Amino acid sequence: MSAKAISEQTGKEFLFKHLCTSAALQNRFRYANVSADTDWARLTQEHPWLLTERLVVKPDQLIKRRGKLGLVGVDLDLQGVREWLKPRLMKETTVGKAKGVLRNFLVEPFVPHTQEEEYYVCIYATREGDHVLFHHEGGVNVGDVDAKAQRLMVAVDDKLREDQVREELLTHVPEDKKEVLSSFLVGLFNLYEDLYFTYLEINPLVVNKDGVYVLDMAAKIDATADYICKAKWGDVEFPPPFGREAYPEEAYIADLDAKSGASLKLTLLNPRGRIWTMVAGGGASVVYSDTICDLGGVDELANYGEYSGAPSEQQTYDYAKTILSLMTREKHPQGKVLIVGGSIANFTNVAATFKGIVRAIKDYQGPLKEHEVTIFVRRGGPNYQEGLRVMGEVGKTTGIPIHVFGTETHMTAIVGMALGHRPIPNQPPMDAHTANFLLNASSGPKTPAATRTASFSEPRTPTEVSPAKKPKAGPPPAKATTLFRKQTKAIIWGMQTRAVQGMMDFDYVCSRDEPSVAAMVYPFTGDHKQKFYWGHKEILLPVYKNMADATKKHPEVDVLISFASLRSAFDSTMEAMQFPQIHTISIIAEGIPEAQTRKMIKVADEKGVTIIGPATVGGIKPGCFKIGNTGGMLDNILASKLYRPGSVAYVSRSGGMSNELNNIISRTTDGVYEGVAIGGDRYPGSTFMDHVLRYQDTPGVEMIVVLGEIGGTEEYRICQGIIEGRITKPVVCWCIGTCATMFSSEVQFGHAGACANQASETALAKNQALRDAGAYVPKSFDELGNVIKTVYDELVANGTIVPAQEVPPPTVPMDYSWARELGLIRKPASFMTSICDERGQELIYAGMPITEVFKEEMGLGGVLGLLWFQRRLPRYACQFIEMCLMVTADHGPAVSGAHNTIVCARAGKDLISSLTSGLLTIGDRFGGALDAAAKQFSKAFDSGMLPMEFVNKMKKDGKLIMGIGHRVKSVNNPDMRVQILKDFVKQHFTSTQLLDYALDVEKITTSKKPNLILNVDGFIGVAFVDLLRTCGGFTRDEADEFVEIGALNGIFVLGRSMGFIGHYLDQKRLKQGLYRHPWDDISYVLPEHMSM
């Protein structure tokens, strides 16, 4: 949501920190917070004024009218405050319908004043601007300020001036206070704007000879502006409404939501309730709550929440396990039900999200059975058949009763089943699989385009009329009645290839002559071409860095579909509206601050641009055009007959519910003519009435469906239009959110605008007003389809609608990636891997999640064991690996590898080139003896040769013994690296047979020459063979295989890379120039035949 209430203490902190005014603001930062665990001695140290001044104490928990409720203690000393708190602190109290515990109190200095010195001020936001209310009489008995107060509306982007304030707001204020008050109010308004407040009320505001005192304050801020205001806000805590506790699980889900591009919401209403929901979609979640309450389940409804926006399998798992954990803590005598519901998704992979839920169900199968939980599932959307299948399977394997339904079942029918109001069908009819929609069995010729794309009742015109150019002066240009035509072309802002391909597939089944997407704009890459499919054929779309180039090269474009992020959507939209050819803009991003949205709306109204969104999936005009992911994937497009126009136009707030309307309308009428989801924000770019009037003036539309919701008053404009005769076509309307009035505390639903601030904004009030005005209003969402069918049948009966014969669309090939996702095809992998998997939520090394690697403190040796040997090695083995890496890390600059690295670095080459130069010298003569030594010694030992026989055989064959000999070290000057390793191996290894054999060989070779010692390469080679053979993790064949494939040389390569990198950095740090070998270190000789 956007507008969130803040505590009085937070509001005053913002005020005292950031208010700029010439008025003398008193008692700055003089407040103290008191709770059950307050240390009074420390509190008085931090706030010494508590000991010397008279005080006021009041709860700070979003409680309205505290004075009238007797919840304000006035003119007390500190002891009096403590006495006043005793019967109240941590005690339950009732405020209206809400029961809650008083936990947090605010203590402030008492300000003696007269009634004449009290004033009332309030600033709140509306679509057109910000309203400033001022009344010269404030305090507890202020009464109906809406009727009494002086009012001034500051239009969007305008500023409040002191002369305006004096002339329009301070007419009843004494002259000697006007200057102070006008300065304060202008400063307050500027603060309200700068810190993105949406509501700010001070009552009373006291002004006396000493200055201005802010006594009581209530405020809301736009939480979506956090990325703008973080520096000024700091970390803001948003308290829950009074009567509802703040649960750690809610905070956990809020944290998941903040870290995710998806939407995850959870509000606990009654943790002991038996009815739990896990619903996909902001609009759908409200509909399910409504239906539960309508069927008498309000007292047993445990939670409100939603997940949407394509959460990953892991995110859905985390969300689901939180719900299951909560619902299996206390038993209910009647058992419990879990409703896993949702509308038809537009782009969320239903199977992927359901797999997360299935994982959670498997983890909690014991508690779920113990608490007698029954699960009801209804979902549609991309890959939903596979999602329903896995949900059904987990029910069979776990023994948990799970009833599964798809799009053939009305969205909320499972609620009636769960609550025992309707029977559970044994085997519900299943819709065809995704693949069946895409393979046209018709053997007839391709359907002529005109037959399928022309409206049933719209007169066909031979040519399309180009939109008129905008006048340069005069009144704002009128917005177009027809937003989309068969020739409409769009620019896509953002690299949304999946959405673009979906639009092109829709265009193809609609038999458009050309794709609806002309170009894409993506500032983060250079101008290039992007490949897409047009039916069976591959085509290229241009991608530009900026809108100026795109519009210049594509003058035919008049629609922009913006997938810009919430941070860049405002700037990119404002830029787009500077190009006169753009008439329609769809803004997909959710979470744009309301102040920015209102500025966009103002400019759009001035330029005659229609904005759909923000926070929307878009809209669709069957046979013509679809915005982005609207309508879902091609199977849903075909199932809902969105490839050709019907006679019913709809407008909804919710994107997911718009797809549900596509389904309902296609099953009850001849189909959709046009549908728009205006978005769930408080101030959508275009309103219900804007689109209803368009539909009224569109000949092809014969009836209109509106899915309104709680919050705002836009539906009353439809009532007025019907009563005044401006709207004459039948309107079927239902406002969701009827459950809100049944809750004891305020609940913010999934959409930012879904919150009633007054009685007239409730869904119940709006549904009744629409019914009274003459709209067709069902008794509940459950009956919406029946009412639509009844109205449609009447229009068919009286001849208004003449249903056309159904014509099959052309086939569109399925994308390979999606066909594989559905399990329709298989293909051999290009290569296989068994050591690492990065596809899930968490990186996995050889089956071990990365978090476990760190939790177990496995270290570098442990990670190497997982990635190289696919085993979790014993602790001593990991330590030995790390010791090997340490002793092989470097051996000075003179060895060939380090020398090459240094020469390369001094030649100006980069790190990778220099490192590679050094690594390429590793072989049998330098560093590569580990594998060879291991193989030679193992073969001799395994064949039963005595050490002397082995030495003699190698001498006879004229071969060097790998791992024996050192240029510098000898028995008299031992290599301490070998000694360190030997001590560790002898202490920790269970057996050292091969090492002992190699040491016996060393005794023989050093008796002949003292430097023929077992060197570090040889030692590591033979010791590693002992490790692999005796640690218990490998069979003999596996141990021999690792030696054979060169694993041991990898130890030297990895270790010595550290040294080579060190030499590279050293040379760069020392700024050494190009290396040239000195002449006097080179023997210049003639060819042998010439010297003779």
Q: Which of 585, 546, 565, 553 is nearest to 496 (CA)?
A: 565
Angle at 1029 between CA 996 and CA 850, to 5 degrees: 125
Q: Which candidate in 135, 691, 751, 1063 is catalytic?
A: 751
Annotate 236-268 with DSSP letters as a single string: ---PPPTTS---HHHHHHHHHHHT-SSEEEEEE
Q: CA dist 526 to 378, 567, 571, 645, 730, Å?
A: 44, 21, 20, 39, 51
Angle at 810 between CA 805 and CA 811, to 5 degrees: 135
Angle at 618 between CA 617 and CA 619, to 5 degrees: 130
Is 620 strand, coil or helix?
A: strand
Reduce the secondary structure of 852-892 to three states and give it as a string.
Answer: HHHHCCCHHHHHHHHHHHCCCCCHHHHHHHHHHHHHCCCCC
Is residue 204 left, alpha or beta, with left meaning phi > 0 and alpha meaning psi from -120 to 50?
A: beta
Cα of 90 vs its chain's centroid, Å: 37
d(CA 396, CA 392) in angstroms, rounded, equals 7
Backbone angles phi, psi at 334, to 5 degrees: -100, 10
Angle at 765 between CA 760 and CA 766, to 5 degrees: 90
Cis peptide before 204 (omega within 30 of 0): yes
d(CA 793, CA 244) in angstroms, rounded, equals 47
Exposed, middle or buried: residue 170 (CB in 10 Å: 0-12, 13-18, 19+)? Answer: buried
- In sequence order, what are the residues at sequence separation of 6 or more whose Cβ sits closer than 8 angstroms to the Cβ of residue 131? 122, 123, 124, 125, 151, 152, 153, 154
Q: Which of 570, 567, 572, 566 is nearest to 545 (CA)?
A: 572
Exposed, middle or buried: residue 1037 (CB in 10 Å: 0-12, 13-18, 19+)? Answer: exposed
Angle at 354 between CA 348 and CA 355, to 5 degrees: 115
Reduce the secondary structure of 183-218 to three states and give it as a string.
Answer: HHHHHHHHHHHHCCEEEEEEEEEEEECCEEEECCEE
Q: CA dist 874 to 318, 503, 871, 990, 1034, Å?
A: 32, 56, 9, 12, 12
d(CA 597, CA 125) in angstroms, rounded, equals 12
d(CA 987, CA 1023) in angstroms, rounded, equals 13
CA-based torsion, 62, 68, 69, 73: positive or negative: positive
- Spatial contact of 912 and 905, defined as CB atoms under 8 Å apart: no
- Spatial contact of 286 and 742, defined as CB atoms under 8 Å apart: no
User: Which helix (H) or strand (E) is 543 found in, with range?
Assistant: strand 537-544
- In sequence order, what are the residues at sequence separation of 6 or more whose Cβ sits closer than 8 angstroms to the Cβ of residue 372? 331, 332, 335, 336
**What residue has token string 């992927």?**
352
User: Which helix (H) or strand (E) is 415 found in, with range?
Assistant: helix 413-418
Q: What percent of the residues of the chain are helix, what percent strand, and what percent coil, each to the nearest 5?
A: 40, 15, 40
User: Which helix (H) or strand (E) is 376 found in, with range?
Assistant: strand 373-378
Strand partners, 219: 6, 200
d(CA 707, CA 662) in angstroms, rounded, equals 12
751 is an active site residue? yes
Task: List the catalytic residues.
Answer: 751
